[in-house]
Structure 1
Amino acid sequence: MKEDKAALLHQFIVVEGNIGAGKTTFCKMLSAQHQYRLLLEQFADNPFLPHFYKNPDRYAFPVELFFMTERHKQLQQELGQHELFQKGIIADYLFVKTLLFAKNNLNPEEYRLFQRLFHILNASFPKPDLLLYLHRPVEQLLPNIRKRGREYEQEIAPAYLQQIQQAYFDFFRSNEQMPILILDLGGQDFVADRKAYFRMLEIINRPYPAGVHREAL
C-alpha cells in the first residue's frame, strides 16, 4: 500500500488512551512518518510504580507526585521552546492525565492537596490542536498489557482499567476548550495492518472544532 506523505493538519497532537491502548506505539509511527518531534512520557523512571501496583494505598501519593513533577519538568523544557512548533510535536500524554489518575488513586484528603498543586503547575502549558484518545474495550487491553511483558503491570485488574477509562470520559464531557477525538479501535491492530493505520491518519487529519467527537476505525 502506498504510504501517505501528506502534511498533517494539526501541529501539536496529544495521543491519550488507557493502559495498553497503543498510544506510544502510534506516536512513534506518526512521528517517524511525518518527522514530528516526539515527546514520550518517561514512566519507567518512576521508582514508586512497581510498589504502587503491589500496595496502592501506601504508594499512591508518592507515585502520583513523582509523575506530576516529572511530567511538568519535561513539558516545561519541551513546550517552552516555541520554535519546536514550526515542525510539529506529537506527545503520548496530556498533563491533565496527572489529575485524572490521582483522582482515581488518592484518598479525598490527599487528592485535595494534590489538586491544588496541579492547578499551580498546569497554568502555563499550551493546549494541543488535537487531543486524540485511542479507545479499546477493557477486555482487549489486558492481552496487550500481558504481551508487552512489564512485570509490575501483570496484576492490573480489569476494574482498575475501567475506572481509568471512566475518568477520561468524565473529563471529556466537562471540557469544551479543545478538540477531542475519541477513536474507537475495536480489535484493530494498526501495527500489523497498514490499512488500519492509514485509516487512522485519514480520520485524525481533519479539522475538528472544540468539543468531543467520536469516530470508529
Structure 2
Amino acid sequence: MIVVEGNIGSGKSALAKTIADEFELKHFGEPSFDQLYVDDCGFDYRTIDHLLPPACRSCDIKKFYEDPHNINVASMQLQMYELRFERHVDALVHMLNTGQGVVLERSCYSDFVFADTMHKFGYISDIAWKMYHKCRYYTLHQLLKPHLVIYLDTPSDILLQRIRERNRPEEVNSKVLTKAYLDEIESVYKHNYLRSIRKKQSC
C-alpha cells in the first residue's frame, strides 16, 4: 500500500495515477461527498437543504470553502475521516484478496492535518475538535498502516498559482485558501503527521 500525501494543489492525483499505471497497482482517488449525498438513482440530497433547518443541512468541501464558519463544518470533517477510513478498508480488502498493490491519494491517517488546521483557524470548536480526535483514537488502530508514504513538498506560492490555474470556482473564490492556511497545513503535515507515520513506515 502506497499513499501519496500533499497539500491542496500539490499534484497528488497525477503522481498517484502515474505510479498506479507504471507498477500495475489499483488507484484509489480522493473520496467524494457524492458518496454520501447522491443515491443510486442519481438524486442529490443536497438539493433539498433549503427545506431543512440549518443544523440538519449538508456540508461538503464546496460549502466549507464558501462559508468556513458553517455550523456543520465539524460534521463535514468527521464525515471525510469516515470516507477515508472506508476507502482505506476497501483498499486493504482489494490488496489482501487479489494480491495487487494499491496507491491512495491521502489517507485516514493524515486526515487530522485538516481538522487541526481548521481548529487553529477557528472553523472547528474545541469540543468538536476533541470529539474528532477521540473518534480517530478509537478507530484508527484497527487498520493496517501503509507501507510507503510519499509526501509532495510544495511551497505555498506554487500551490496558490496551481489553484488559480486549475480554476475551480469554489477554490479560486474562497477566503479559506490563503497562504497562511496552506502554510499551516504544511506545518502540521511536517511536524505532526510525517513524524508519527515515519516511525513504522518508509517515508
Q: Same fold (TM over 0.5)?
A: yes
Structure 2 gap segments, 5+ residues each: 37-58, 119-123
Partner of residue 117, structure 2: 104
**Distance of 1:109 and 1:48 partners within structure 2:** 20
1:59-105 deviation per Cα after TM superposition (whole angstroms, max 9, x unaligned) = 42022022012112222223134134x22111111212221211111
TM-score (ref. length: structure 2) = 0.76
Change (3 A) 1:28 1:132: same
1:10-159 map, 5 Å? 12-43=1-32, 45=34, 47-58=59-70, 59-81=72-94, 82-84=96-98, 86-105=99-118, 106-154=124-172, 155=174, 156-159=177-180
Q: Out of 162, 166, 173, which is 2:195 matched to?
A: 173
Please give the secondary structure, in 1, of the residue aligned with 2:111.
helix
- 2:84–2:107 Cα contact (<8 Å) kept: no
The one-letter code matched in structure 2 to 1:108 is: D
Q: How many residues align?
A: 168
Partner of residue 215, structure 1: none
**Distance of 1:170 and 1:90 partners within structure 2:** 24
- 2:33–2:60 Cα contact (<8 Å) kept: no
- 2:19–2:25 Cα contact (<8 Å) kept: yes
- 1:13–1:129 Cα contact (<8 Å) kept: yes
1:129-179 deviation per Cα after TM superposition (whole angstroms, max 9, x unaligned) = 211101110001111112222211112111110110011011223442222
- 1:48–1:62 Cα contact (<8 Å) kept: no
Structure richer in strand, relative to its length = 1
Structure 1 gap segments, 5+ residues each: 1-11, 181-217
**Distance of 1:61 and 1:149 partners within structure 2:** 26
- 2:117–2:185 Cα contact (<8 Å) kept: yes
The one-letter code matched in structure 2 to 1:125 is: L
Q: How much is the aligned-residue C-alpha RMSD, in angstroms?
A: 1.7
**Distance of 1:110 and 1:31 partners within structure 2:** 36
The one-letter code matched in structure 2 to 1:55 is: D
**Distance of 1:147 and 1:42 partners within structure 2:** 23
